[in-house]
Amino acid sequence: MLDLNESFGMRGKVALITGAASGIGLGISRFFALAGVSVAMLDINEEGGGKAKGVVEGDREFFFCDVTDSSSCVTAVEGVLSRFGRIDILVNCAGVARRNDVVGLDERDWDLALNVTLKSVFLMSKAVVPYMKAQGGGKIVNIGSGWSLKGGPMAISYCAAKGGVWNMTRAMAIDHGPDNINVNCVCPGDIDTPMLKSECEQLGGTYDESYKEECAQRPIKRLGTPEDVAKSVFFLCSDMAPWVTGSSLVVDGGGIA
């Protein structure tokens, strides 16, 4: 009989997850830790990270990291290696949404969105990939968006950043496949998180049940949850996806179908 726990091969692995103080990053951290993965939770929000660590059950540790700064990324990775001894999985989840069009968007918000959402994937991967190569391989999942694959209104910086995450994923898969490193992208739709609330308020809305019902207008008629995304990330990081690389997995309840 097939033993799925053995087939997934995740128990005892070490995962580094950015943007882990809230939202999707926290959801992935919780799901992975419950499944027996040791989790390194990285975020710039130290207070939020401490609280997030408190709701994650299992082997986990919080590390401060400014994912837009190369030295901070290197320091955090060294801390993870000191604590856990290895890094089997990197989940690049940190992101910022600043909702506006190309005329209305402030240049500082453009830089913030691109640096946190896209540059961070470069910096964290640059810091982690050499260790994965030395240990014989690993799994990287970059968190994109449905708007990695199509445009969206009043979201010029977000679409640019998430589109870059998707194409960067493909380039990394080509470069590091020979190193036994799988690189994939998970593209969520609207997920019930503090970021979605922030986007709603930036556009002048109220994050209430009426707004959530609008977001749920898709074939599977509900908002997504961080756990919905975590399950897909878990699959791509597991031994059940050994020949999957350079791919995008859309997790949006059919929103862009």
- Look at the alpha carbons of 229, 247, 60, 33 in this order and tell me if their dihedral is positive or negative: positive
DSSP sequence for 14-80: EEEEESTTSHHHHHHHHHHHHTT-EEEEEES-HHHHHHHHHT--SSEEEEE--TT-HHHHHHHHHHH
The β-bridge partners of 182 are 139
- Provide the terminal-to-terminal Cα distance of the chain, rounded to the nearest Å: 36
Report which of 23, 21, 145 is spatially closest to residue 40, judged by C-alpha positions: 21
Q: Say how far residue 190 (Cα) sits from the centre of its chain.
A: 14
Q: CA 246 from chain center: how many Å? A: 16
Which of 131, 158, 207, 211 does the annotation list as catalytic?
158
- 158 counts as catalytic: yes
> Measuring CA to CA, how many Å separate 138 from each of 16, 152, 204, 229?
11, 33, 42, 20
Contact criterion met (CB below 8 Å) for 173 and 245: yes
* 60-64 β-sheet, strand order: 60-64, 38-43, 14-18, 89-92, 138-143, 181-188, 248-251
Angle between helices 107-114 and 156-176 (to 10 degrees): 30
Residue 233 token pair:
């990330």
- Give the catalytic positions in this structure: 158
